[in-house]
Chain A
């Protein structure tokens, strides 16, 4: 009798467990993973002021228009964003690999009004070699329909957005996307 009761309880608990395990495994209906409407469309252009250290190579303003014709990696970050600190060294590493192969990287500091000192500290800490600009009014972020930071966009040589990555970008993602763009 006792055994039968306990078996019954075990079956019910197992059924409940199976239902919830299904809930966990099916993944989360995460609203951030909606694919961007920008994919397949021309990249929204911008011209933003560069940080001083890039002036010798790029001038005072970085204009996207001027760089269309090469594969582009556009990374949005902010000084208060923890994952941005994780991905910055990854981006710098990739820049050293892919920059010489003709890929242009650009970092856009956004959602960070008047945080120029913080921006300079961020760039200096990771010794970022690729150009970085400040989107002080976060308007470029709006044009690119940012959900949050960090987000990274990949643009092909014709100036079309081909992919978007949400959250900290990894070497694997960069290799995969840029491998396809350089083929």
Chain B
């Protein structure tokens, strides 16, 4: 064991990092206001030193977890000797204080990276200071309100271990990391937007300098949401991946506004328009990420996986209100600088479609926010307790999603400023043709439900749109280049990473949309009781309960059933759904068994306990068509985001000038 005491060491690191954040925030702003380069440099060095100290705190926490040092409060409260090593590592973000430590650490890391790599500009000192001001909050919470390093005077001999649901799947190691990387990544454009308002430079500078940060943050957040869905699918045992639970909604809302933002900034880059929108969207994104943390950490809205209450909730509320008031107040003060001078030439244009994207995504955010907060509002005014379930969210958002898909197909085909009638008519005819043909095809093949059928129609329409975009870009190049199609495609893909990346992402969205439409529209869900040795039919499969089993590892006891799956007499697979008990105190949590195929999943969850004397099992059996494509689509989306970020570092403004001609319309 360690001779030095980990608790005080961790606390000292956090306190020092907090001090440095305070210093950096003040020194940076004073240095910028006085144009004092030395002060500015010292603020940047403080950012780097803050990251080193936060890293020290994380290393200390990991050391405490891995050596079972129960004199550290967090370890005593959330870890357990018998847990496997990987669970001990991820225990750091399995509960509130540790997750704030992770968030703070990533925030200091991003700030340090920014301090080292950001190009010199009038915005930089303010942006770094604002990042450090955000650090002051997180590190302050860590140091004074939820210190995970507090020393336990009488350390227990063992701890309870992390929440059972979090020990159950490796995805838990990934999902929170991605989520915080996303939130923290989106803090950078927020900081730059604030810097732009402070310095009265609301031009394209702040977004050009943060494009990579924004896209990276958005990519991580998208990945986190898909990973969270997959975790829910693999762990929670109801065969679904999205329940419109408040904790899901609060991670989804910043994603919605961030999605609007990454589209909307392009209009400002090209046409110097939608400036107030862009500031509004990034401020809202950041506010919503803090609001989400407040809602899930305070017990204000009841959720299946809230972290419970404590003094952290009020702190996040105060910070949320402060951020919202300051950011919107600053925007109001600078309104005359930010206001758009130009008007839309025509709504039927690229910028018109981007404005449409903004309106749709903000409406979606408002709907989700309303549904999430509605129970609280009703209780505040009438005292009644109500819940808002999935039907509300489905009914309000589904039509909007279809509109998003529709806009996604036509938008990229529209030129900037104003569309030519002739070209527009031709494209519209082709798109409508694809829409009708694929819709009709789906109908003939038996897709008679409205939303899945419409989704297929819109998928066909979007594929046509992607084809038109690609051929519009490639055909002229083919004529000019006089080379093979493959060569031209490759050089186009290398030259126009941003454009091709967005096509890949849009393609991924189509795949996810089809996956969601079918897996929710055509899901078959049954409860089956099976005696051992007997069989039951389910949706073309024969399920036979062959045996029961029991496994014991130091960390858990599992009991389950061996289910043989056959189809038309031929063996397909053997599934082993089980129940796990982690430690003595825990609830039992199920691990469903899933048979993945390209067309549908067969999902078995054990709904009854299995012991040496049990003679039967109760299974929840779910068949969801095309559900795998949601995960595949998510992976493609991440690839597309990474692709558009890859390659050289040509500044966005240079590219904007280079590619002035509208692309995507066949000549």
Contact = CB atoms under 8 A, between A and B. Distances in A.
B325 A10 contact: yes
Interface in B135-178: 152, 154-161
A20 B308 contact: no
A148 B586 CA distance: 9
Interface string A145-163: 0001100000000000000
Interface string B315-328: 00100110011001
B154 A125 contact: yes
B433 interface: no
B309 interface: yes
A160 to B, nearest CB: 28
A112 interface: yes
Interface in B284-305: 294, 298-302
A148 B324 contact: no
A140 to B, nearest CB: 13
A23 B158 CA distance: 35
Contacts of B332: 2, 5-6, 9
A55 interface: no
Interface in B16-74: 73
B161 to A, nearest CB: 8
A26 B301 CA distance: 11
A82 B380 CA distance: 36
B585 interface: yes
Contacts of A122: 157
Given A13-B321, A19-B377, A148 B585 contact: yes
Most chain B beta-carbon neighbours within 10 Å: one of A10, A28, A30: A28
A111 interface: yes
Nearest to A110: B584
A46 interface: no
B299 A81 contact: no
A85 B154 CA distance: 7
A81 B152 CA distance: 12
Contacts of B157: 79-80, 115, 118, 121-122
Nearest to A122: B157
B77 interface: yes
A79 B585 contact: no
Contact of A23 (B156, B300, B583): B300
A80 B156 contact: yes
Interface residues of A, number: 37
A29 B246 CA distance: 15
A166 to B, nearest CB: 13
Contacts of B308: 28, 30
A30 B302 CA distance: 9
B585 A82 contact: no
Contact of B294 (A10, A13, A20, A125): A20
A1 to B, nearest CB: 8
Contacts of B294: 20
B333 interface: yes
Nearest to A3: B332
B339 to A, nearest CB: 12
Interface string A2-25: 100110011001001101111110
B300 A82 contact: no
A79 to B, nearest CB: 5
Contact of A22 (B320, B380, B385): B380
Contact of A9 (B155, B317, B329): B329
A22 B317 CA distance: 12
Given A6-B333, A28-B309, A82-B76, A16 B380 contact: no
B562 interface: no
A113 B158 CA distance: 13
B430 to A, nearest CB: 46
B335 interface: yes
B376 interface: yes
B301 A78 contact: no
B321 A112 contact: no
Interface of B: 73, 76-77, 80, 152, 154-161, 294, 298-302, 308-309, 313-314, 317, 320-321, 324-325, 328-329, 332-333, 335, 373, 376-377, 379-380, 385, 583-585
5 contacts: A6-B333, A16-B324, A23-B298, A80-B161, A81-B160
4 shortest interchain CB distances as A-B pairs: A23-B300, A28-B299, A80-B158, A111-B584
Interface of A: 2, 5-6, 9-10, 13, 16-17, 19-24, 26, 28-30, 78-82, 84-85, 110-113, 115, 118, 121-122, 125, 138, 148-149
